């Protein structure tokens, strides 16, 4: 054991001097280190195998939990400022350590299980909700070659796994033996199932264009290859921005639809009906306290990250950004700023928009929510699908005006239809 460790340390030194001295490709440093570690672990037998696997997953969990903590702080700060308050400013500089204080508080709370609750279900729900949340992260290409599982059906797998969330939410609602929880669980099922449809249909257009469901391939496809490999820095820069799918008519439409459905899928305001605190206390979370509640909370945010990560990957170019090749490098794929910087930047911008929306829009009513999914998002997603299909087979000077025209017109028509009596008969509600 001693010898192995000594050898290990020696190898680190050798490798560092050999690879980092030149700094050929700053983008790939982490990848190189990981690759080298993995070959090193290869000699260690079973321990090495476990270590290599942990190496892929633990950073993912750690980084996204960190992002979660940061986001709760950002959210409270941002909402505070929107309402002309300070927000948390006591724990640490600018209240930055507030999430830790919250975490400690959560851990110290008593874990209460209602007497007549379904004990097993009540316990399992927060555990199960972590699985889809964390698994979703595996398919996000955080940088070039930085992806935990680069599989060919990543997108399909992502959406399939994502629907487990509704199972655990309903499990929590049912097992709590509480009317509010049950109502919350039922709302969650209805909402998640309805919004899955526009979510997936708006993502499919990208698969149509790229011809692959592999997220890494999708990101690579959003570069203008000839520009990126050229010698002019300005072209390299633009080549990694203008290729994003969001800069195409179908892409913009798809992105907006995906983002709105993502809001609903992630239970974010204004679609946070399952846990509408002014109506049903906290929905399925009503009977949870202490660490189980924290788990739900964490899962919700990680889920949000996963889904806006997919938004970024599909439409906003993933780890692509205004980036140039370092002048001293001879590697055509080298990037000056590591790709994951852009990726996390985009994620946090989208998260910021979500917080902004939360600070602005009031919650929808349940029938409005359903109507919005089935009568507004779904038709637009299908039209977008058709437009994208046509766009693919047209010359650009014909495809662009055509798709812009069709999309604008169909938006107007869908809005008009939604307002007309034909679709939207006035309902009267009677209260029991």
Partner 1 sequence: MNGQGILKGMLVTAKNFFGSYVSRERLTTVSYPEGGNTIKEQSRNIPFLVFDGEDPVAGMRCTACQKCEKACPPQCIFIEKDKDERGKALQRPKVFDIDASVCMGCQICVEVCPFESIWMDSNFELSTFNRFEGLQFNREKLLKSNTYFHKIHPQQAQASDDRLAEKERKRLEREAARRAEKSASEPQV
Interface residues with partner 1 (CB under 8 A)? 78, 81-86, 89, 356-357, 359-361, 411-412, 415
Shortest approach of partner 1 to residue 30 CB, angstroms? 35
208 vs 408, which CB is nearer to partner 1? 408
Dist CA 110 CA 361 (whole Å): 34
175 vs 378, which CB is nearer to partner 1? 378
Shortest approach of partner 1 to residue 104 CB, angstroms? 23
Shortest approach of partner 1 to residue 190 CB, angstroms? 23
197 vs 357, which CB is nearer to partner 1? 357
153 vs 360, which CB is nearer to partner 1? 360
193 vs 361, which CB is nearer to partner 1? 361
Shortest approach of partner 1 to residue 88 CB, angstroms? 12
Shortest approach of partner 1 to residue 15 CB, angstroms? 47
Shortest approach of partner 1 to residue 261 CB, angstroms? 16
**Cα dihedral sign for 275, 280, 282, 287?**
negative
Shortest approach of partner 1 to residue 95 CB, angstroms? 12
Dist CA 241 CA 235 (whole Å): 10
- The answer to whether 359 touches 83, Cβ cutoff 8 Å, is yes
Shortest approach of partner 1 to residue 409 CB, angstroms? 13
**Cα dihedral sign for 75, 366, 429, 181?**
negative
62 vs 412, which CB is nearer to partner 1? 412
Shortest approach of partner 1 to residue 357 CB, angstroms? 7
58 vs 412, which CB is nearer to partner 1? 412
213 vs 378, which CB is nearer to partner 1? 378
333 vs 360, which CB is nearer to partner 1? 360
């Amino acid at each position: 054991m001693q010898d192995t460790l000594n050898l290990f340390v020696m190898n680190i030194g050798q490798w560092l001097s050999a690879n980092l001295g030149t700094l050929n490709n700053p983008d790939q440093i982490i990848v190189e280190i990981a690759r080298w570690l993995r070959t090193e672990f290869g000699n260690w037998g079973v321990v090495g195998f476990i270590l290599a696997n942990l190496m892929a997953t633990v950073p993912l969990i750690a980084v996204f939990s960190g992002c979660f903590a940061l986001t709760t702080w950002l959210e409270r700060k941002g909402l505070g400022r929107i309402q002309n308050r300070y927000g948390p400013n006591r724990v640490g500089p600018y209240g930055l350590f507030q999430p830790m204080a919250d975490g400690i508080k959560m851990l110290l709370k008593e874990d209460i299980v209602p007497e007549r609750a379904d004990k097993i279900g009540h316990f399992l729900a927060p555990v199960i909700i972590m699985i889809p949340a964390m698994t979703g992260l595996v398919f996000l290409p955080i940088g070039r070659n930085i992806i935990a599982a680069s599989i060919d059906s990543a997108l399909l797998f992502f959406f399939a796994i994502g629907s487990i969330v509704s199972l655990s939410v309903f499990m929590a609602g049912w097992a709590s033996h509480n009317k509010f929880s049950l109502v919350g669980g039922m709302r969650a099922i209805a909402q998640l199932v309805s919004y899955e449809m526009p979510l997936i249909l708006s993502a499919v257009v990208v698969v149509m264009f790229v011809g692959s469901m592999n997220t890494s391939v999708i990101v690579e496809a959003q570069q203008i290859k000839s520009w990126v490999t050229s010698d002019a820095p300005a072209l390299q820069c633009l080549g990694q921005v203008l290729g994003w799918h969001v800069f195409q008519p179908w892409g913009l439409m798809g992105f907006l639809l995906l983002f709105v459905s993502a809001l609903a899928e992630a239970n974010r305001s204004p679609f946070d009906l399952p846990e509408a605190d002014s109506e049903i206390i906290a929905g399925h979370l009503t009977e949870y306290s202490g660490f189980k509640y924290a788990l739900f909370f964490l899962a919700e945010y990680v889920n949000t990250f996963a889904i806006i990560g997919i938004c970024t990957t599909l439409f906003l170019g993933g780890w692509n950004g205004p980036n140039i090749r370092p002048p001293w490098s001879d590697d055509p794929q080298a990037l000056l700023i590591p790709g994951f910087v852009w990726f996390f930047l985009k994620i946090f911008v989208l998260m910021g928009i979500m917080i902004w929306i939360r600070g602005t829009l009031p919650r929808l009513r349940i029938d409005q929510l359903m109507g919005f999914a089935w009568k507004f998002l779904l038709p637009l997603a299908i039209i977008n699908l058709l437009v994208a299909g046509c766009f693919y087979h047209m010359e650009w000077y014909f495809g662009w005006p055509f798709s812009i025209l069709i999309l604008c017109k169909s938006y107007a028509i869908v809005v008009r239809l939604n307002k007309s009596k034909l679709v939207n008969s006035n309902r009267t509600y009677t209260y029991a």
